[in-house]
């Protein structure tokens, strides 16, 4: 079984792009990844493309061959949909294809365009990732769902809104130098606590923004990289996927995420490492409580201990385990179908040393990315390692 290397990454700026289409955005990211990789476009054998809301937001189905065209390629292309984990799954399947020997070169990533819709329409579209029969019909939206998860956490393990505010402050600080981030504004704990309440205890500054953007990666086998003299020091050495019941009322505990735990266990086993070996992490912080659930589900903290990590400085840029040096979904932005690819692209840049926050982790060798769908009914975890 061959290893898988990240030969090139491409990102658009994450933010509001009302004048651009999804196809335009993905084309930019894919062409950037192609150029950075140095791979002959005729060698790219297939495209795995993640997208969640394209049929609603742009009334465009059958997007995969369209995105291949925008990437300047004429090869098979497949769209993957797993809500907010769409790109993570698309990349996981690309990794599996390269490892198995089915392909030597794959392009994988994703895109989402949402800011062309009203806030109400975006909320309604995103809500389709929840259980239609038992949650959507009752008026459940994701701020409400994560508010329930936060309340369950506080009741089971303790913690308070100020702990979550430190997560938001940290991630905004991390986004400041990131040229691809939606927000370049520092915030304070008081600003988070004083922001309008969306669904108690989730306030406006506890939530990620509505975002447009795209991400792309060129993945190659070890043999292809060596034969073609590619400079690709970062490898994806572990991949795992986990699932859970879709509706919250069908779960044993609202403040524990078994999908993340299962995905992490598989990814660590695949890579031959453990949580203690990890130097930095990019997690799916669609809401501040989601970061807490993620770092516990990934095994970095026991249940109930992750809530104070940012407040104690442990997960800041200068802490023992930097989390979301990109700014995370909270400050970099969350173009749903692109997020999983963005996390791996950012982790690649951080490990290679060409990210604006790489100075904080210059000796790092192992990074983990965590991409979740909905209220973590789906989770995809990847382990990345760099040659030093």
User: Mind listing the pLDDT tens digit for each residue in 17-52?
Assistant: 989 999 999 999 999 999 999 999 999 999 999 999
User: Mind listing the pLDDT tens digit for each residue in 296-315?
Assistant: 999 999 999 999 999 999 99
Rounded to an integer, the average pLDDT of 188-199 is: 98
pLDDT, residue 221, reads 98
Distances, alpha carbon 84 to alpha carbons 9, 34, 129, 265, 338, in Å: 20, 24, 8, 21, 8
Q: Is the pTM of this model over 0.75?
A: yes
User: Mind listing the pLDDT tens digit for each residue in 67-79?
Assistant: 999 999 999 999 9
Residues 6+ apart with CB under 8 A from 171: 285, 291, 324, 327, 328, 330, 331, 332
Report the distance separating Cα 350 and Cα 385, nearest Å: 11
pLDDT, residue 171, reads 98
Superfamily of domain 4-117+211-235: Thiolase/Chalcone synthase (3.40.47.10)
User: Mind listing the pLDDT tens digit for each residue in 239-289?
Assistant: 999 999 999 999 999 999 999 999 999 999 999 999 999 999 999 999 999
Is residue 334 flagged as an active site residue?
Answer: yes
Is residue 84 flagged as an active site residue?
Answer: yes
- Helices 142-157, 288-297: inter-axial angle, 10-degree rounding: 60
pLDDT, residue 210, reads 97
Active-site position among 334, 355, 370, 382: 334
Q: In the structure, what pLDDT confidence band is assigned to residue 388 with cuts at 50, 70 and 90?
A: confident
Distances, alpha carbon 62 to alpha carbons 67, 68, 100, 375, in Å: 9, 11, 27, 26
User: Mind listing the pLDDT tens digit for each residue in 114-165?
Assistant: 999 999 999 999 999 999 999 999 999 999 999 999 999 999 999 999 999 9
pLDDT, residue 350, reads 98
Q: In the structure, what pLDDT confidence band is assigned to residue 2 with cuts at 50, 70 and 90?
A: confident
User: Mind listing the pLDDT tens digit for each residue in 320-345?
Assistant: 999 999 999 999 999 999 999 999 99
Architecture of domain 132-207+237-383: 3-Layer(aba) Sandwich (3.40)
Rounded to an integer, the average pLDDT of 53-64 is: 95
Could you state, in order of their start, the residue ranges of all structural domains in the chain? 4-117+211-235, 132-207+237-383
Active-site position among 13, 17, 75, 84: 84
User: Mind listing the pLDDT tens digit for each residue in 335-378?
Assistant: 999 999 999 999 999 999 999 999 999 999 999 999 999 999 99
Neighbouring C-beta atoms of residue 69, cutoff 10 Å: 13
């Amino acid at each position: 079984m061959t290893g898988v290397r990240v030969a090139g990454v491409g990102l658009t700026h994450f933010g509001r792009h009302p004048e651009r289409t999804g196809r335009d955005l993905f084309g930019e990211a894919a062409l950037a990844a192609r150029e950075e990789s140095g791979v002959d476009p005729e060698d790219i054998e297939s495209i795995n493309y993640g997208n969640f809301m394209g049929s609603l937001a742009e009334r465009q189905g059958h997007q995969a061959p369209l995105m291949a065209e925008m990437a300047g390629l004429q090869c098979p292309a497949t769209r993957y949909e797993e809500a907010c984990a769409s790109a993570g799954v698309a990349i996981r399947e690309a990794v599996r294809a390269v490892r198995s020997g089915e392909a030597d070169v794959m392009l994988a990533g994703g895109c989402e365009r949402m800011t062309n819709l009203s806030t109400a329409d975006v909320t309604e579209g995103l809500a389709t990732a929840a259980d239609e029969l038992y949650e959507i019909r009752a008026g459940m939206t994701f701020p409400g769902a994560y508010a329930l998860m936060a309340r369950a956490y506080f009741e089971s393990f303790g913690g308070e809104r100020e702990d979550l505010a430190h997560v938001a402050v940290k991630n905004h600080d991390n986004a400041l130098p990131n040229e691809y981030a939606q927000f370049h504004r520092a915030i304070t704990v008081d600003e988070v606590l004083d922001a309008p309440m969306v669904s108690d205890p989730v306030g406006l500054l506890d939530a990620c923004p509505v975002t447009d953007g795209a991400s792309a990666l060129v993945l190659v086998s070890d043999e292809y990289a060596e034969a073609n003299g590619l400079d690709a020091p970062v490898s994806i050495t572990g991949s795992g996927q986990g699932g859970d019941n879709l509706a919250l009322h069908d779960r044993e505990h609202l403040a524990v995420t078994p999908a993340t735990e299962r995905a992490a266990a598989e990814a660590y086993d695949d890579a031959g490492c453990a949580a203690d070996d990890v130097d930095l992490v990019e997690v799916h912080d669609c809401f501040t409580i989601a970061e807490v659930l993620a770092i516990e589900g990934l095994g970095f903290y026991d249940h109930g201990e992750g809530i104070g990590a940012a407040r104690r400085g442990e997960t800041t840029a200068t802490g023992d385990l930097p989390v979301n040096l990109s700014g995370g979904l909270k400050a970099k932005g969350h173009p749903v179908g692109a997020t999983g690819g963005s996390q791996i692209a950012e982790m690649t840049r951080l490990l290679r040393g060409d990210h604006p926050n790489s100075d904080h982790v210059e000796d790092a060798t192992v990074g983990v990315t965590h991409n979740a769908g909905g209220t973590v009914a789906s989770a995809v975890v990847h382990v990345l390692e760099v040659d030093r």
